[in-house]
């Protein structure tokens, strides 16, 4: 070989030797790769590849696939099931790879070849055979639809129906073309789309090889013979091999194509088929190799990654020892209404009656007509000052239900004995929870507040001692170890929900005629002084019983458990801005509500004058600017010291131009910032074709539903109508900026943001895109197109917002888009505050407001009712005590039955039901809702995967209760048909992502690079619906528990979904063995979900993934036996070892400890001593009344924002104690030596 090469080199590669001819001739190409004579010579030399038959074939195939995505109808693919984002069946021979990888390269390139088999099955099963087995889809209408029916020529099809669209089947989730609900193409589109991409990739490779061949030949033709040393020979030999390899590769099958070269189309089709088959086999072999070697490149899009390089260093700080008490005049809530008394939490029909009354409907109208509010009433909770109005007509209200159930399951009469007093105010662990000084007025105030019934008050006054004892008991039970109604943020900025808990306990005592639950009845018994140790629980199960007994008193009349779901500071100001620009209607925010809101903002201000993004965050410009704006709009005097400090903080940090984009948006609405200072939010984006790679319909629904009204208001350039004449707005324009308002060059401020706000810095490409949009907004050349497109875009936004309002009964998905949708409706109604849609919006504002000892706040949702209630009943089930607390269990059953979305008569009669049709869901990008459970209420209307899973598990747990099932058989409780459970399973199955995990509300419709376009600055990972360990565990375990009770329903799909879910959970486990918790703080939470999911899926307790996680948890256990971390774990993506140092107990917290124990006990960790220490920690931290102290914030969302769950301090310790008691046994789960 070397001799031949050297001879050719010696001849300069221009001799006549046969051996040299392969180097002399140009590269011989097969017919499909030869340029067609369509371009003139100068262009054909450089762009010849653009006119090759193969390239034109690939482009045609690509265009055809995109056209087919619009034209092909969405027909039932019943034989393919509902597993996966694309509604298609996954095959067992690639399940491990699909579940493990989870990345785009694995799913699309390496293992996507199975799309050809899926496409064939689709074509055969649906379009030719027209088969359908129902498969548990939302619609079980008969099969038989096929390719002929699509064109209106099926047997029996009406003659007038000759177009594909006329016979488009309805009510199916299966897809052929592009499904906007799933944000994905069907197999019949994916197959040609994939083929075109593979062919284009091959053309690119061929083009590179041709250029390489040319350059190598030229180099060898000009090589200097004198330089052909031994090393030079080797290089030339290598070049020769490369040239021959290129020739061989590109001329594969050349002889065959030469024989058919006269038929260019046939040659191209055959050549393309060979290329595609070769590529698919090669990629699949590569994927198998990657799987065996456990190489996952890149990481799955849902992998949250490791620790952040930029960690939070600043800490919040409040003035030490400044205790705030709620003034009595604020709590009286007197707005001039004769029926107005103290604030109370009204639920369900009581809440509806209150709202109807507030908006001008009398009680008789409410009795004789349907409420002005639509949707299921159960679960609704609002704070009101109106006295409860009892119904004279009996119906299916929460009061009727509770009365019947209390008759069936009466409360045991353990009453306060004469001369007895409640047990000690302290707790077994209360030496670690300081008690503040208690004002003497609290007792009488609580009595007035908690007993609105005048007759009851007169009876109580007959016995001052009984009155004092009762008040004192309520204080102790509701205070959570703190001083009643006192709030000191320097000790803990989290409220402990004293007002709500005091109301519930007082209501319980009234209904039970002074009785307490048996397990805490010792509080009513005289004990010799110094005998407090006799009250200590002797075992974990006894501690759990006390916890359940206490928590059962907090259950509302409709069966749910309520609590403070506040925390973020940026929510309330948005509502205040909406209220202000709409003319400050008192029906929306009354004067007493304004005062309570002002109190909330005042007590949470930090020592530096600023406010955090949430209650435990250090001051940020985002929090400070938006809270300062709210304070001033609520009537705050700018000369007050605390307000002046807020203004100084803003100006010290550069003025409001340095705040984040969300705050700037509210400033623009109220007229305190020019719209040129905000980046464009074009509503025209909604007009893009659905398959466009960056369509807003592909965004995570919370992101999408916020930017929807933002786009409308930006496109309309909405500004408060009196902004230029309102004296307050003029003052704010001076106060918020460091230079005169009129001198600010607004366009230059669009990208400005303070470093303290910049959690997710906007990438350079996004800034470039925003600058391009700025040109689009301001250059006259774009105006003709912009005016036409914007009008259409605004109309679609209005239509979409109306659909969202009706689908959610005017609650909307969350508080931010609630306020924005309301302002949009106000603008669309020409600023008419009496427009019905605007009034419907205002009637739902109270759903988001909550009152606690720190004032009135806006919650992150309309509550966490279903979520907390589902967890609570599972905790009781884990303890095996469902039938020991039958009233609580029965009420939970009733609530969960009424909370299933679009599954009750009331919910099906609401406007939301019509939007469940396939066409509406397709138009407005909504996933299937029917059968799911919500985070809050049925009326909210948005099901979530983990909420559906936990709701389903709650129902399945209650099926183990003999007494609850007996009440169902007697007709006291409504039963739940199996078909409703099947609907829930269908929702869960359809929400499984392609990576095997589960996202929140929808499948992941977008791509990982969307996060590079995140415009929010203050939040992370908000652009698409990622798969999470929490959602995956909840969904997976729900399927597993359902399968245990209903083994014959969709067995293959369920078992396969569970396996894929487990593989996903393992794929996102961190190197240290932990899992990152995205919805709570943080690693203890994630570890519980990770271990629980794997164990339920059949993972061995001794597997590497389980033991590695156990080792991680054990390494984080603190000396006192507990675990503790705070929201900085989520923010930094790194375990906060001293996270609970400020608000917990020596660095530990009861909630984190409970999560860690749930994980370790599920794994049956071999370190029993560590579990025992954790159990003892929870037992010693329990208060005498059965409550646990409120510590640091438990929840988090979008990586950077904390949120409150006051119910967690009760639910999870009970759950952990119950499970550990079963694991350890009663003899080994208690506190040794009388609590010492």
Confidence of residue 605 (pLDDT cuts 50, 70, 90): very high
Would you say 1206 and 564 are in contact if contact means Cβ atoms under 8 Å apart? yes
Q: What is the pLDDT of residue 96?
A: 34
Between CA 166 and CA 151 the distance in angstroms is 8
Tell me whether residue 184 is in a domain.
Answer: yes
| Maximum mean pLDDT: which of 155-159, 444-448, 1006-1010, 1203-1207 | 1203-1207
Confidence of residue 34 (pLDDT cuts 50, 70, 90): confident
What tens digit of pLDDT does each residue of 760-773 get? Answer: 899 899 999 999 99
Shared-domain flag, residues 882 and 839: no
554 phi and psi angles, rounded to 5 deg: -90, 0
Helix 230-250 × helix 187-221 angle, to 10°: 140
Between CA 1092 and CA 689 the distance in angstroms is 42
Between CA 935 and CA 1000 the distance in angstroms is 11
Please tell me the least confidently modeled range out of 154-158, 940-944, 951-955, 1054-1058: 154-158
Confidence of residue 851 (pLDDT cuts 50, 70, 90): very high
Q: Is the pLDDT of residue 774 over 90?
A: yes
- Specify the higher pLDDT residue, 85 or 473: 473
- The CB-side HSE value for 186 (13 A sphere, CA atoms) comes to 29
Q: What is the DSSP letter of 722?
A: T
Q: Is the pLDDT of residue 105 over 70?
A: no
Shared-domain flag, residues 544 and 593: no
Tell me whether residue 724 is in a domain.
Answer: yes
**Considering the chain, what is the average pLDDT of its residues?**
81
Q: What is the pLDDT of residue 133?
A: 37
Would you say 638 and 644 are in contact if contact means Cβ atoms under 8 Å apart? yes
Domain boundary among 552, 584, 606: 552
Q: Is the link from the previous residue into 522 a cis peptide, with omega within 30 of 0?
A: no
Shared-domain flag, residues 196 and 118: yes
Please tell me the least confidently modeled range out of 90-94, 784-788, 988-992: 90-94
- Taking residue 424's Cβ as centre, other Cβ atoms within 10 Å add up to 17
Quick one: how many helices (H) and strands (E) in the chain?
A: 48, 12
- Specify the higher pLDDT residue, 616 or 148: 616
Strands 340-347 and 178-179: unpaired
Instruction: Say what the pTM is.
Output: 0.85
Mean pLDDT value of segment 425-451:
39
Shared-domain flag, residues 255 and 278: yes
Q: What is the pLDDT of residue 95?
A: 34
3-state per-residue secondary structure call for 429-468: CHHHCCCCCCCCCHHHHHHHHHCCCHHHHHHHHCCHHHHH
Mean pLDDT value of segment 114-118:
70
Tell me whether residue 839 is in a domain.
Answer: yes
Question: Max Cα separation, the chain?
Answer: 126
Please tell me the least confidently modeled range out of 272-276, 745-749, 906-910, 1118-1122: 272-276
Pure H helices in 165-186: none
Give the end-to-end CA distance of the chain in Å, rounded to a whole number.
89
Mean pLDDT value of segment 583-591:
95
- Specify the higher pLDDT residue, 137 or 512: 512
Q: Is the pLDDT of residue 422 over 60?
A: no
Q: Is the pLDDT of residue 1207 over 90?
A: yes
Domain boundary among 521, 552, 583: 552
| Maximum mean pLDDT: which of 393-402, 405-414, 892-901, 921-930 | 892-901
Q: Is the pLDDT of residue 212 over 80?
A: no
Mean pLDDT value of segment 662-676:
97
Mean pLDDT value of segment 520-531:
64
Confidence of residue 1095 (pLDDT cuts 50, 70, 90): very high
Tell me whether residue 1105 is in a domain.
Answer: no
For residue 1194, which of 1217, 1211, 1218, 1181 has the smallest C-alpha distance?
Answer: 1211
Domain that holds residue 113: 2-292
Tell me whether residue 308 is in a domain.
Answer: no
Confidence of residue 251 (pLDDT cuts 50, 70, 90): low
For residue 815, which of 733, 739, 705, 683 has the smallest C-alpha distance?
Answer: 705
Would you say 939 and 375 are in contact if contact means Cβ atoms under 8 Å apart? yes
Q: Of all residues in the chain, what percent carry a pLDDT higher than 70?
A: 75
Tell me whether residue 1125 is in a domain.
Answer: no
Joined tokens for residue 51:
């006119």
What tens digit of pLDDT does each residue of 225-249 get? Answer: 445 556 656 666 666 667 666 666 6
Active site residues: 946
Confidence of residue 493 (pLDDT cuts 50, 70, 90): very high
Mean pLDDT value of segment 641-649:
96
Shared-domain flag, residues 423 and 548: yes
Confidence of residue 700 (pLDDT cuts 50, 70, 90): very high
Q: What is the pLDDT of residue 279?
A: 83
Domain count of the fold of the chain: 4
Distant-in-sequence, close-in-space partners of 849: CB < 8 Å, separation ≥ 6: 382, 383, 593, 856, 857, 858, 859
Q: Is the pLDDT of residue 1210 over 60?
A: yes
Between CA 73 and CA 175 the distance in angstroms is 7
Confidence of residue 256 (pLDDT cuts 50, 70, 90): low
DSSP run (H or E) holding 383:
strand 381-386
Q: Is the pLDDT of residue 445 over 50?
A: no
Tell me whether residue 217 is in a domain.
Answer: yes
- Specify the higher pLDDT residue, 292 or 482: 482
Q: Is the pLDDT of residue 293 over 70?
A: no
Q: What is the pLDDT of residue 148?
A: 36
Q: Is the pLDDT of residue 877 over 70?
A: yes
For residue 774, which of 684, 678, 694 has the smallest C-alpha distance?
Answer: 678
- Specify the higher pLDDT residue, 277 or 560: 560
Mean pLDDT value of segment 282-306:
70
Q: Is the pLDDT of residue 869 over 90?
A: yes
- Sign of the CA dihedral with 109 first, then 111, 114, and 118 last: negative
What tens digit of pLDDT does each residue of 339-359 get? Answer: 556 899 999 999 999 999 888
Shared-domain flag, residues 548 and 584: no
Mean pLDDT value of segment 833-847:
96
Between CA 127 and CA 121 the distance in angstroms is 9
Shared-domain flag, residues 539 and 584: no
Q: Is the pLDDT of residue 65 over 90?
A: no
Chain position carrying tokens 């499948």: 1003
Please tell me the least confidently modeled range out of 116-125, 967-976, 1091-1100, 1212-1221: 116-125
Shared-domain flag, residues 620 and 694: yes
Mean pLDDT value of segment 958-980:
95
Q: Of all residues in the chain, what percent carry a pLDDT higher than 90?
A: 53
Q: What is the DSSP letter of 57?
A: H
Tell me whether residue 243 is in a domain.
Answer: yes
Would you say 663 and 749 are in contact if contact means Cβ atoms under 8 Å apart? no
Mean pLDDT value of segment 779-789:
93
Shared-domain flag, residues 489 and 382: yes
Shared-domain flag, residues 26 and 43: yes
Q: What is the pLDDT of residue 401?
A: 83
Mean pLDDT value of segment 826-831:
97
- Sign of the CA dihedral with 839 first, then 843, 846, and 848 last: negative
Domain boundary among 500, 523, 552: 552
CA angle 1035, 1038, 1040 (to 5 degrees): 110
- Which CATH number covers residue 1026? 1.50.10.20
Confidence of residue 114 (pLDDT cuts 50, 70, 90): low
Neighbouring-strand partners of residue 427: 1183
Q: What is the pLDDT of residue 1141?
A: 86
Confidence of residue 362 (pLDDT cuts 50, 70, 90): low
Shared-domain flag, residues 851 and 875: no
Mean pLDDT value of segment 118-133:
57
Please tell me the least confidently modeled range out of 110-114, 277-281, 1063-1067, 1075-1079: 110-114
Q: What is the pLDDT of residue 515?
A: 86
Between CA 1127 and CA 929 the distance in angstroms is 32
Q: Is the pLDDT of residue 122 over 90?
A: no
- Specify the higher pLDDT residue, 731 or 118: 731
Q: Is the link from the previous residue into 298 a cis peptide, with omega within 30 of 0?
A: yes
Chain position carrying tokens 């409360």: 411
- Sign of the CA dihedral with 1047 first, then 1053, 1059, and 1063 last: negative
Q: What is the pLDDT of residue 391?
A: 58
Between CA 662 and CA 678 the distance in angstroms is 9
Shared-domain flag, residues 872 and 1006: yes
Between CA 246 and CA 593 the distance in angstroms is 78
Mean pLDDT value of segment 995-1016:
90
């Amino acid at each position: 070989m070397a001799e031949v090469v050297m001879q050719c080199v010696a001849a300069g590669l221009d001799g006549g030797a046969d051996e040299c001819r392969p180097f002399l001739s140009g590269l011989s190409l097969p017919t499909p790769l030869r340029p067609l004579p369509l371009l003139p010579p100068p262009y054909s030399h450089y762009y010849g590849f653009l006119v090759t038959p193969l390239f034109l074939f690939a482009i045609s195939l690509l265009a055809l696939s995109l056209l087919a995505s619009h034209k092909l109808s969405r027909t039932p693919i019943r034989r393919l099931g509902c597993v996966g984002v694309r509604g298609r069946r996954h095959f067992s021979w690639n399940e491990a790879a699909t579940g493990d990888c989870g990345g785009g390269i694995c799913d699309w390139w390496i293992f996507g070849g199975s799309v050809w088999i899926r496409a064939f099955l689709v074509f055969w099963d649906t379009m030719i055979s027209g088969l359908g087995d129902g498969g548990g889809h939302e619609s079980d209408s008969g099969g038989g639809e096929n390719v002929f029916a699509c064109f209106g020529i099926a047997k029996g099809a009406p003659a007038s129906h000759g177009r594909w669209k006329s016979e488009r089947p309805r009510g199916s989730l299966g897809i052929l073309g592009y499904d906007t609900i799933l944000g994905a193409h069907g197999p019949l589109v994916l197959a040609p789309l994939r083929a075109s991409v593979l062919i284009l990739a091959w053309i690119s490779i061929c083009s590179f090889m041709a250029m390489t061949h040319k350059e190598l030949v030229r180099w060898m033709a000009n090589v200097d013979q004198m330089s052909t040393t031994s090393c030079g020979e080797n290089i030339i030999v290598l070049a020769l091999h490369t040239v021959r390899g290129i020739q061989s590769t590109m001329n594969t099958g050349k002889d065959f194509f030469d024989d058919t070269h006269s038929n260019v189309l046939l040659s191209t089709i055959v050549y393309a088929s060979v290329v595609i088959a070769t590529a698919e086999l090669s990629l699949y072999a590569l994927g198998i190799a990657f799987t065996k070697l456990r190489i996952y490149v890149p990481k799955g899009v849902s992998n949250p990654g490791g620790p952040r390089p930029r960690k939070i260093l600043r800490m919040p700080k409040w003035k030490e020892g400044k205790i705030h008490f709620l003034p009595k005049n604020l709590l009286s809530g007197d707005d001039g209404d004769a029926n107005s008394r103290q604030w109370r939490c009204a639920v369900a029909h009581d809440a509806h009656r209150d709202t109807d009354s507030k908006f001008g409907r009398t009680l008789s109208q409410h009795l004789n007509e349907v409420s002005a509010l639509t949707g299921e009433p159960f679960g609704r909770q609002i704070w009101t000052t109106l006295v409860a109005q009892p119904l004279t007509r009996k119906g299916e209200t929460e009061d009727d239900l509770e009365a019947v159930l209390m008759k069936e399951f009466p409360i045991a009469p353990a009453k306060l004995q004469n001369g007895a007093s409640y047990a000690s105010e302290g707790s077994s662990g209360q030496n670690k929870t300081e008690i503040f000084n208690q004002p003497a007025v609290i007792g009488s105030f609580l009595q007035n507040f908690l007993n609105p019934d005048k007759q009851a008050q007169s009876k109580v006054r007959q016995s001052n001692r009984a009155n004092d004892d009762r008040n004192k008991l309520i204080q102790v039970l509701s205070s959570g170890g703190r001083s009643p109604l006192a709030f000191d943020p320097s000790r803990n900025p989290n409220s402990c929900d004293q007002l709500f808990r005091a109301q519930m306990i007082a209501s319980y005592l009234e209904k039970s005629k002074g009785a307490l639950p048996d397990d805490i009845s010792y509080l009513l018994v005289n004990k010799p002084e110094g005998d407090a140790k006799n009250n200590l629980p002797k075992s974990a199960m006894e501690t759990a019983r006390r916890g359940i007994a206490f928590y059962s008193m907090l259950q509302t009349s409709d069966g749910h458990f309520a609590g403070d779901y506040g925390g973020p500071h940026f929510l309330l100001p948005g509502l205040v801005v909406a209220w202000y620009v709409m003319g400050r209607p008192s029906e929306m925010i009354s004067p007493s509500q304004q005062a309570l809101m002002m109190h909330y903002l005042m007590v949470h201000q930090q020592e530096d004058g600023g406010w955090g993004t949430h209650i435990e965050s250090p001051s940020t410009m985002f929090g400070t600017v938006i809270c300062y704006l709210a304070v001033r709009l609520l009537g705050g005097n700018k000369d007050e010291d605390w307000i002046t400090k807020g203004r100084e903080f803003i100006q010290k940090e550069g003025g409001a131009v340095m705040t984040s984009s969300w705050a700037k948006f509210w400033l623009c609405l109220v007229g305190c910032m020019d719209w040129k200072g905000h980046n464009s939010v074009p509503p025209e984006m909604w007009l893009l074709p659905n398959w466009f790679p960056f369509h807003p319909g592909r965004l995570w629904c919370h992101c999408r539903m916020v930017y929807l009204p933002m786009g409308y208001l930006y496109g309309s350039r909405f500004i408060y109508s009196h902004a230029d004449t309102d004296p307050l707005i003029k003052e704010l324009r001076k106060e918020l900026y460091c230079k005169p308002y009129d001198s600010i060059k607004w366009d230059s401020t669009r990208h400005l943001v303070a470093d303290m706000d910049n959690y997710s810095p906007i990438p350079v490409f996004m800034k470039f895109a925003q600058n391009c949009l700025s040109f689009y907004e301001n250059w006259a050349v774009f105006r003709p197109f912009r005016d036409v497109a914007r009008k259409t875009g605004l109309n679609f936004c209005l239509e979409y917002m109306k659909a969202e309002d009706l689908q959610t009964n005017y609650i909307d998905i969350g508080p931010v888009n609630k306020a924005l949708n309301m302002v949009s409706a106000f603008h669309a109604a020409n600023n008419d505050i009496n427009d019905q849609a605007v009034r419907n919006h205002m009637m739902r504002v109270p759903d988001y407001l909550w009152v606690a000892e720190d004032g009135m706040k806006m919650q992150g949702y309309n509550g966490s009712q279903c979520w907390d209630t589902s967890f609570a009943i599972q905790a009781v089930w884990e303890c095996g005590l469902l039938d020991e607390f039958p009233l609580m269990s029965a009420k939970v059953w009733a609530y969960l039955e009424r909370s299933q979305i679009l599954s009750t008569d009331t919910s099906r009669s609401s406007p939301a039901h019509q939007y469940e049709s396939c066409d509406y869901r397709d138009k407005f990008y909504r996933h299937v809702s029917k059968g799911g459970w919500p985070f809050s209420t049925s009326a909210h209307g948005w099901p979530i995967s983990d909420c559906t899973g936990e709701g389903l598990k709650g129902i399945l747990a209650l099926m183990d209760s003999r007494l609850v099932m007996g009440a169902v058989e007697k007709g006291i409780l409504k039963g739940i048909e199996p078909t409703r459970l099947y609907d829930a399973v269908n929702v869960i199955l359809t929400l499984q992502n392609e990576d095997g995990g589960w996202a929140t509300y929808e499948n992941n419709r977008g791509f990982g690079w969307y996060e590079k376009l995140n415009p929010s600055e203050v939040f992370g990972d908000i652009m698409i619906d990622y798969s999470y360990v929490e959602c995956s565990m909840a969904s997976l375990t729900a399927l597993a528990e359902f399968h245990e009770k209903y083994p014959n329903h969709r067995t293959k799909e369920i078992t396969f979904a569970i396996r894929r879910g487990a593989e996903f959970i393992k794929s996102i486990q961190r190197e240290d063995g932990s899992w990152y918790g995205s919805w709570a703080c943080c690693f203890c939470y994630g570890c519980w979900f990770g271990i629980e999911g794997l164990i339920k899926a059949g993972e061995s307790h001794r597997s590497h993934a389980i033991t590695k996680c156990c080792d991680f948890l054990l390494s984080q256990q603190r000396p006192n036996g507990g675990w503790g971390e705070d929201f900085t774990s989520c923010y930094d993506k790194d375990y906060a070892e001293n996270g609970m140092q400020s608000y917990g107990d020596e660095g530990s917290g009861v909630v984190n400890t409970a999560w860690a124990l749930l994980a370790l006990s599920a794994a049956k960790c071999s370190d029993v001593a560590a579990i025992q220490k954790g159990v003892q920690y929870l037992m010693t931290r329990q208060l005498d009344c059965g409550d646990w102290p409120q510590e640091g914030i438990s929840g988090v969302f979008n990586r950077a924002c904390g949120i409150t769950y006051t119910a967690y301090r009760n639910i999870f310790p009970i759950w952990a104690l119950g499970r550990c008691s079963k694991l350890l046994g009663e003899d080994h789960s208690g506190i040794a030596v009388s609590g010492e």
